[in-house]
Structure 1
Amino acid sequence: MQKDTCVIKDINSKHLLNVNRFVLILIIITYLFSAINSNGFHHPDEHFQLIEFAGLKAGWNTGDDLAWEYGAQIRPALQPYLALVIFKLAGLFGIKDPFILATLLRGLTAVFSILSVLFFISCFKPSIKSRYHPALIVLSFFIWFFPSINVRFSSEIWSGLCLLISVGLVELNRQSKLRYFIIGVLFGLSFEFRFQTAFAIAGIILWLICIRKNSFREILYIFWGGILIVALCTSLDSLFYGQFVFTPYNYFRVNIIENVSSHYGTAPWYAYITSILIAPNFLIGAVILLSFTILLGYDYKNIILWTIIPFIVFHSVIPHKELRFLFPLINFVPFLLIYAYQQIIDRIKKKNFLEIFFNSVLLAMLCINLGGLAMMLFKPAGNGSINLIHYISRKYGDTESLTIYSLKNNNLYISSNSEGLNASFYLPDNLILKDITTEFLTHPEPNRLVVLSKGHYTERVLLEKNGYKMEKPGIPAWIMELNKFYGVFNEEAVPILYTQENDYERDSKIFLLPNPDLLLLQTKGQTTWEEQMVSPPINGFIFIYIYKVSYK
């Protein structure tokens, strides 16, 4: 193997050196920009089992405030303690704003991602022909969903980055006791961030034994590095929970033996194949699966395959499946694409037609990628709830009381009616949450802050007929338009802030009738009620609106 070198310095041409410096600056700007814009969390676990868990030691939460995983003692404490350290350090500089603190966590993840991917590229560049090196670098950072995922302070990303570095160290193949011990430490960290990576780690160890033919002593150094981290993290877990606890066993018992994870949905064994095909966009997904197949056919001894296959097979067997469970593997995809392309293109003799075909496919993928990248760089995380909380906090938060109306168990600060899903981290002291009632819908109070999801069409129509207007959606409208093609999020779940128009007057009469046929026309003095609107049923009743609108 060639000596590992810095990606930016390993360029023969002075011109290419300048280009790569520019690319490095572009990478840093892109990832930090994504970290700033992606307010919120991709999945509730990213917040409620990490940041809110950190709140137990920071003082804003108690055990009763946390998700059920706390009582089951299945969440490792390493990442919550890491968040706690960042919060304490920020506090030394007077930083207490929750939105800035969350951005710091994403910024830290962005830096970790950039360094990890650059190291991985430097280790595997000898396997890629030099003419494909620029493509490898670009793909490794600018596939359209990479920046938004690689800045997430989630267990999947931190586990995957530790796994990525460890595979890079394995590829270097340097005979050093310290190197093998560090590989073991990284394996341990990857495991403690997310226990399921144990199956990827097992595949790598099998590769070292069966393909690389490493000695028992070398494997033992890896083992001791991993054991050290697991022992230290067990101490952290015991400190966090207040008693001795071995969270890997608890996690296995609860989610595998007791099958609790299946309560959150199940999918067939082939669901991940479908997800890989559809989630990145069909064309890109098809190329990823084709690249995997090519690599399997031409180089079945490749360590990347031995890492990926056990991980995906295990997750395919488990009934509960989520796309985010594959996130630890995403940074292996660019190497997979370039290596497979290199294998197939070098074996084909008649290249004229194929070059036209491949260039056409690449052009289509480039267009898809540019649109998706633009969307994801500006898109808030998830359905935009935290982004809207941020907006409300900045514009309306500086008051004695901040009253927000929303449907019961469907507000910005509570993800659902499940235990421990209150976003205490973002709760201001002056916040008052009120439920939207039938009375409020028929006779809304003036000048209130009302939040409804886009999918609550009936309730939104009621508000709009009574002088409320859309002020701010959690996700910008242009992103929702692009999402119709990319399908990243559920548009119906996007929250919208409604406020009342200042110049609006309404004189209205609202009848609550069990029968929509009983439509009455009323007069008030000499004024005829000019318009009528019949709502869809709410709680078994039909709202009949007969109204007159005037503006000052």
Structure 2
Amino acid sequence: MSKLNFRNIFYISVVFHIVAAIFSSGFQHFDEHFQIFEFLNFKLGNIPSSNLPWEFREQIRPWFQVFIYFTFYKSFTFLGISSPFTIAFLFRLLTSLFGLFALTKLIPIIKLWFKGEKNQTIAWGLLNLCWFVPYIQTRTSSESFGISFFLWGFSLFTLALEKDKDLVKSGLLAGLLFGLSYLSRSQMAFMVAFIWFFALFIKKANYRLLLSSAVAIIVAILAGIAFDYWGYGNWTFSTWHYFRTNFLEGIMSNVKQYPWWWYFRLALNRGIAPVSLPLILATVWGWWTYRKHILTWATLPLFIFHCYVGHKELRYIFPIIIISPLYLALFFQVYEAKLISLNTKKLFRGLIKFIIGVNFLFLIISSFKAANPSVNFYKYIWSNEEIREIHVHGENPYTMLGLPLEFYKKRDLKIINIDSLELYLKELNETQYLFFNKGKFVSIMEGNTKCSLEYLTYPKWILKFNIGNWISRSRVWSVYKCSN
């Protein structure tokens, strides 16, 4: 890290953010697709509202992010871009680069909190090059969108608190950004509210900063009501409906519940233990050591809230995960002398190199790997002009969680279900395309002279390494071109 500087780290980060935007196609969670892309598809007039998930009916999702994408979509189509895959890529690219831009806004904070160029470089490097950062910031999810607005506003607000100047201007802009963060993801309200409380009770901030930021947040909330009207077609307040359905009516009690400590397990396992364990320990250490620090007031209340809520998903604490590298950098700064001493030991140096190596390995993997490989199938169907109908044996590939997935689907594509494969092949009298969603059918179709394998979830050469017939036990999508 000592050989790197801010500029070089930024350039490396740019590369990984762009690579992730190109290759990390699809969606990390179903909400990223159905509550963003399909909501957009509805506003474009391509699908009826009945195709949308229950969140539309209950009016619990804010429309701000969809409105932003809608505006860009119209610009893209005006330029002649019509492929949903190109448009999805452009959305990822814009979201990813906006996330990176938000990270650069933390540079003044880093220079404020960390002493010396070495510690500042470590903090900036960790913030950009932890393996999950480009992946999370590339997601076109409400979490990613909300984080970026928050980080920008967080920097402005913190600098105004520390330097006590440009209070009204900084308060208005920071408040607006905090409000847009909330409009992206309503749970961000915890981070925004407790930062404001920190300024009020701990820092005893100037009333001009408090008042101007509060006014801007309220203005953003009122704008959110207008965005929701644009989306739902009636005056409503999505945050109230979110609270009503999830807490008063208890709809989340119908999904699996987990104990309060479950996020530690999720973060450890899915964050790749050699990397996630130091981050988890440093964050918990930071929450205790820096109890009166604005970083703790921003992150700990959100974590406590999600620990309280029974249903837990790692994406809910993405805002904390993105910031957690700063706690690790603070740990390095506090124990710098001790760590320098330990660095003389071969075993310790080897451990550090191992952790860094694991991190960069998964940084490369997460940037190049599709978030959801099903999108590769949709792209294959879209780009093949010969395919006008697909015969499906098993689940409809354009249906997930019982919801129609229309954004990537050709408008004239027909899906025909078949019950008996044997009867289908027997009565085959023209060229047709046959889809399977289970790997066992790859073995069944092997050697079939009527059909040739055209598409497989994995590269076709992997069939040569079907040791123990693992493909038959896997969820593998395949398309065969069949003719009599």
Identify the residue that residue 433 of structure 2 maps to in structure 1.
449
Structure-to-structure mapping, 1:266-415, within 5 angstroms: 266-346=257-337, 348=338, 351-352=341-342, 356-382=346-372, 384-394=373-383, 396=384, 398-399=385-386, 401-408=387-394, 410-415=395-400
Q: Are 2:57 and 1:75 equivalent residues in the alignment? A: no
1-side partners of 2:443 and 2:299: how far apart? 49
Report the alpha carbon displacement of residue 345 of structure 1 after superposing the two structures with TM.
2.8
- Give the 3-state SS of the residue equivalent to 1:424 in structure 2: coil
Of 434, 446, 468 in structure 2, the residue corresponding to residue 464 of structure 1 is: 446
1-side partners of 2:77 and 2:152: how far apart? 31
**Given that residues 252 and 311 in structure 2 are in contact (C-alpha distance below 8 angstroms), is that contact kept between their aligned partners in structure 1?**
yes
Q: Are 2:232 and 1:241 equivalent residues in the alignment? A: yes
Report the alpha carbon displacement of residue 193 of structure 1 after superposing the two structures with TM.
0.6
2-side partners of 1:150 and 1:213: how far apart? 33
Report the alpha carbon displacement of residue 495 of structure 1 after superposing the two structures with TM.
4.1
1-side partners of 2:474 and 2:404: how far apart? 17
Q: Are 2:203 and 1:219 equivalent residues in the alignment? A: no
**Given that residues 292 and 336 in structure 1 are in contact (C-alpha distance below 8 angstroms), is that contact kept between their aligned partners in structure 2?**
yes
Of 29, 44, 68 in structure 2, the residue corresponding to residue 58 of structure 1 is: 44
The amino acid across from 2:381 in the alignment is I
Identify the residue that residue 466 of structure 2 maps to in structure 1.
none
**Given that residues 442 and 478 in structure 2 are in contact (C-alpha distance below 8 angstroms), is that contact kept between their aligned partners in structure 1?**
no
Identify the residue that residue 526 of structure 1 maps to in structure 2.
none
**Given that residues 79 and 193 in structure 1 are in contact (C-alpha distance below 8 angstroms), is that contact kept between their aligned partners in structure 2?**
yes
Identify the residue that residue 21 of structure 2 maps to in structure 1.
35
Report the alpha carbon displacement of residue 246 of structure 1 after superposing the two structures with TM.
0.9
Q: Kindly tell me: are residues 270 and 470 of structure 1, through their superposed partners in 2, closer, same or farther at Cα, counting changes over 3 Å?
A: farther
Q: Kindly tell me: are residues 476 and 130 of structure 1, through their superposed partners in 2, closer, same or farther at Cα, counting changes over 3 Å?
A: farther
**Given that residues 117 and 164 in structure 1 are in contact (C-alpha distance below 8 angstroms), is that contact kept between their aligned partners in structure 2?**
yes
Q: Are 2:406 and 1:424 equivalent residues in the alignment? A: yes
Structure-to-structure mapping, 1:135-174, within 5 angstroms: 135-172=122-159, 173=161, 174=164
Q: Kindly tell me: are residues 469 and 309 of structure 1, through their superposed partners in 2, closer, same or farther at Cα, counting changes over 3 Å?
A: farther
The amino acid across from 2:230 in the alignment is L
Deviations 1:153-194 (A, max 9, x none): 110001111121222122213431111122211221111111
Of 177, 197, 221 in structure 2, the residue corresponding to residue 186 of structure 1 is: 177
2-side partners of 1:462 and 1:349: how far apart? 58
2-side partners of 1:441 and 1:136: how far apart? 64
Q: Kindly tell me: are residues 135 and 95 of structure 1, through their superposed partners in 2, closer, same or farther at Cα, counting changes over 3 Å?
A: same
- Give the 3-state SS of the residue equivalent to 2:390 in structure 1: strand
The percent identity for this pair of structures is 27
Mean alpha-carbon deviation: is it higher for 152-161 or for 60-69?
A: 60-69
The amino acid across from 2:200 in the alignment is I
Report the alpha carbon displacement of residue 361 of structure 1 after superposing the two structures with TM.
2.5
Identify the residue that residue 480 of structure 2 maps to in structure 1.
499
- Give the 3-state SS of the residue equivalent to 2:322 in structure 1: helix
2-side partners of 1:124 and 1:288: how far apart? 18
- Give the 3-state SS of the residue equivalent to 2:315 in structure 1: helix
Identify the residue that residue 465 of structure 2 maps to in structure 1.
none
2-side partners of 1:469 and 1:333: how far apart? 50
Report the alpha carbon displacement of residue 204 of structure 1 after superposing the two structures with TM.
1.2
Following TM superposition, the consecutive aligned residue runs of length 4 or more in structure 1 with deviations greater than 6 angstroms are: none
TM-score by length of structure 2 reads: 0.88
- RMSD across aligned C-alpha pairs, in angstroms? 2.8
Q: Kindly tell me: are residues 108 and 127 of structure 1, through their superposed partners in 2, closer, same or farther at Cα, counting changes over 3 Å?
A: same
TM-score by length of structure 1 reads: 0.78
2-side partners of 1:163 and 1:114: how far apart? 13
What are structure 1's unaligned runs of at least 5 residues? 1-12, 480-490, 506-552
Q: Are 2:457 and 1:474 equivalent residues in the alignment? A: yes
Q: Kindly tell me: are residues 433 and 359 of structure 1, through their superposed partners in 2, closer, same or farther at Cα, counting changes over 3 Å?
A: same
Q: Kindly tell me: are residues 239 and 500 of structure 1, through their superposed partners in 2, closer, same or farther at Cα, counting changes over 3 Å?
A: closer
The amino acid across from 2:361 in the alignment is G
Q: Kindly tell me: are residues 231 and 465 of structure 1, through their superposed partners in 2, closer, same or farther at Cα, counting changes over 3 Å?
A: same
2-side partners of 1:473 and 1:314: how far apart? 42
Identify the residue that residue 467 of structure 2 maps to in structure 1.
none
Q: Kindly tell me: are residues 476 and 259 of structure 1, through their superposed partners in 2, closer, same or farther at Cα, counting changes over 3 Å?
A: farther
Deviations 1:183-208 (A, max 9, x none): 21122111111111111222212221
Identify the residue that residue 516 of structure 1 maps to in structure 2.
none
Q: Which protein has the larger Cα radius of gyration, Structure 1 or Structure 2?
A: 1
- Give the 3-state SS of the residue equivalent to 1:195 in structure 2: coil
Q: Kindly tell me: are residues 316 and 36 of structure 1, through their superposed partners in 2, closer, same or farther at Cα, counting changes over 3 Å?
A: same
The amino acid across from 2:138 in the alignment is V
